[in-house]
C-alpha cells in the first residue's frame, strides 16, 4: 500500500482520512450493533481508505469511505457465513474442497481470456510482449516508432482496462449504465482528474456494482503478503512485533543502522501499547512508491491522547521519562503521524524510506 503520498505528506493525508472517522462510525453504527465488531470495521475501513488515498481524488474520499465501509461490512458477514458453513463441514465431510477450487481456477482463466479479448490486437500484443516475454519499453518503442514513455503510458492504460474487464467478466454481468465503464477505468488507472470529470464519487454512491468493484480496483498493490499484523497484548508481543518489522525491513535491504532504528521504534510503540493501551496491533507494510520503504502502524484501543501536540513535545512523556517517547520515535523515522480519539484509541503511522538511490 502506498499510504504516503509524496505530494500530500503522511501527516496531511492521515489527517484527511482521520477527519472521515465520525462519518464512517455513523455508517457502520447504523448497520452493526456489536460495538467491538463495529470498531474493527471502522478501523479496517480507514486502513483501506488510507491505502488507496493516493489513487483517489480528494473529492471522492468521502464517498469512497462510505462504500468501503459497506464493503467491509458485507465481507464480514460473508466471512461469518463461511465460518458457519465450515463448522458444519467439520461434522459433514461429504463435500471435498478440491472440485470447488478447480472450478474457481477455470472461472478465473476464462475471465482473463474474456478481458484480453476486449483489448485491441495491438494493445494485446504489446502487453504480452512486455508482461509475458519481458520485452522492455525501450525496444517496444523502437519497434513502434514511439518513445519509451509513451509505451509505458499505453501499457498502464491497457492494464487498467484489463483489470476492469477482468472484474466485469468475473461478475458475469454487463454494467447497468454507460457511465460505469468510464468510472471504473478512472478508478483502475488512478487518474484523479478523470475521476473528477466523470464524477466518480457520486456514481459510487448510486451504483452497487461499481461500489463493489471499486474495492479491488483501488486496493491493488495492497497485497496481503506485503503486510504483517501482530496483535499486541503482553510483553512477549513486543518482541514479536519487533521481529516482524525487522524481517520485513531486512527483506527490503535496509542498512543495519536503519534496521536498528526501525526495530527500536516498533519496540517503543508496542511497549507503549502493552503498558497503557492494550489490546492493540502493530501492522508492518511494504511500500514501493516513490521508493521502497516500510510503513508501521501502531493501533491501540486505549484512552487516547487528549493533546497530541503536547505529547509530541520533548520532555513530555506518556510514561514518565522511560524510553524514547513519541518525540524520540518521530525523530528516528522519516514520517510520523498520530490520530487519536479520546476514549477510543490512538493510531500512530510511521514510515522509514530507503535512502535515495537504493534498490
Which residue ranges make up the site for Zn ion (CB under 5 A)? 180, 207, 210
Nearer to Zn ion, 183 or 305 (CB): 183
* Closer residue to Zn ion, CB minimum distance, 181 or 192: 181
Place of cell 518503442: 141
Given the complex with Zn ion, which of 10 and 180 has the nearer CB atom? 180
Nearest approach in angstroms of CB 183 to Zn ion is 6
Q: For residue 181, what is its C-alpha cell?
A: 465503464
Closest CB 153 distance from Zn ion, rounded Å: 25
Cell numbers for 323, please give them.
Answer: 524510553
Distance of closest approach, residue 209 Cβ to Zn ion, in angstroms? 5
- From the CB of 118, what's the least distance to Zn ion, in Å? 17
The distance of closest approach from Cβ of residue 203 to Zn ion in the complex, given in angstroms and rounded to an integer, is 6
Can you tell me which residue has the cell 478501523? Answer: 43
Alpha carbon distance 21, 47 (integer Å): 11
Q: How far apart are CA 330 and CA 350, in angstroms?
A: 8
Dist CA 236 CA 267 (whole Å): 11
Smaller CB separation from Zn ion, 210 or 337? 210
Angle between helix 256-272 and 325-332 (nearest 10): 150
Sign of CA dihedral 25, 30, 35, 41: negative
Which is closer to Zn ion, CB of 167 or CB of 180? 180
Residues pairing with 338 in the sheet: 348
Nearest to 319 by CA among 254, 259, 275: 275
Nearer to Zn ion, 185 or 274 (CB): 185
Task: Give backbone dihedrals phi and psi of 287, rounded to 5 degrees, phi first.
Answer: -110, 145
Please provide residue 253's backbone torsions phi and psi, each rounded to the nearest 5 degrees. Answer: 80, 25
Q: Which helix (H) or strand (E) holds 232?
A: strand 227-232
To Zn ion, the closest distance from the beta carbon of 156 in angstroms equals 22
What would the grid cell of residue 162 be? Answer: 484489463
Question: Based on CB atoms, which residue is closest to Zn ion, 207 or 217?
Answer: 207
Q: Is 312 helix (H, G, I), strand (E, B) or coil?
A: coil
Q: Which is nearer to Zn ion, 141 or 205 (CB)?
A: 205
- Cα 307 to its chain centre, rounded Å, is 28
- The residues, ordered by sequence, that sit 6+ positions from 236 with a Cβ below 8 Å of its Cβ are none
E strand residue ranges, the chain:
227-232, 280-287, 293-300, 335-341, 345-353
With beta carbons less than 8 A apart as the criterion, state whether 53 and 9 touch: no
Supply the minimum distance, in Å, between the C-beta of residue 199 and Zn ion.
12
Closer residue to Zn ion in complex, CB, 207/263: 207
Amino acid at each position: 500500500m502506498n499510504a504516503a503520498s509524496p505530494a500530500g505528506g503522511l501527516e496531511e493525508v492521515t489527517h484527511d482520512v482521520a477527519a472521515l472517522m465520525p462519518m464512517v462510525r455513523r455508517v457502520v453504527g447504523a448497520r452493526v450493533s456489536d460495538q467491538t465488531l463495529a470498531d474493527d470495521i471502522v478501523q479496517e475501513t480507514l486502513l483501506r481508505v488510507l491505502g488507496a488515498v493516493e489513487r483517489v481524488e480528494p473529492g471522492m474520499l468521502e464517498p469512497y469511505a462510505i462504500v468501503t465501509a459497506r464493503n467491509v461490512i458485507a465481507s464480514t458477514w460473508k466471512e461469518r457465513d463461511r465460518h458457519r458453513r465450515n463448522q458444519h463441514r467439520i461434522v459433514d465431510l461429504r463435500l471435498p474442497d478440491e472440485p470447488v477450487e478447480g472450478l474457481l481456477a477455470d472461472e478465473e482463466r476464462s475471465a482473463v481470456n474474456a478481458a484480453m479479448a476486449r483489448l485491441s490486437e495491438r494493445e494485446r500484443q504489446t502487453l504480452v510482449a512486455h508482461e509475458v516475454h519481458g520485452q522492455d519499453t525501450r525496444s517496444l518503442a523502437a519497434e513502434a516508432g514511439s518513445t519509451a514513455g509513451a509505451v509505458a503510458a499505453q501499457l498502464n492504460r491497457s492494464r487498467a482496462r484489463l483489470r476492469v474487464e477482468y472484474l466485469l467478466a468475473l461478475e458475469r454481468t454487463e454494467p447497468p449504465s454507460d457511465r460505469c465503464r468510464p468510472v471504473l477505468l478512472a478508478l483502475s488507472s488512478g487518474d484523479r482528474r478523470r475521476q473528477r470529470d466523470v464524477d466518480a464519487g457520486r456514481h459510487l454512491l448510486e451504483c452497487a456494482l461499481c461500489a463493489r468493484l471499486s474495492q479491488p480496483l483501488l486496493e491493488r498493490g495492497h497485497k496481503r503478503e506485503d503486510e504483517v499484523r501482530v496483535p499486541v497484548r503482553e510483553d512477549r508481543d513486543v518482541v514479536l512485533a519487533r521481529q516482524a518489522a525487522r524481517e520485513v525491513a531486512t527483506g527490503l535491504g535496509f542498512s543495519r543502522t536503519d534496521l536498528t532504528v526501525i526495530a527500536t521504534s516498533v519496540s517503543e510503540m508496542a511497549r507503549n501499547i502493552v503498558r497503557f493501551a492494550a489490546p492493540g496491533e502493530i501492522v508492518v507494510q511494504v511500500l514501493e512508491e516513490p521508493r521502497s520503504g516500510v510503513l508501521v502502524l501502531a493501533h491501540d484501543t486505549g484512552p487516547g491522547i487528549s493533546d497530541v501536540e503536547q505529547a509530541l513535545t520533548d520532555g513530555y512523556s506518556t510514561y514518565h521519562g522511560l524510553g524514547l517517547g513519541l518525540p524520540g520515535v518521530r525523530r528516528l523515522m522519516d514520517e510520523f503521524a498520530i490520530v487519536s480519539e479520546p476514549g477510543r484509541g490512538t493510531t500512530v503511522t510511521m514510515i522509514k524510506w530507503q535512502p535515495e538511490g537504493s534498490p
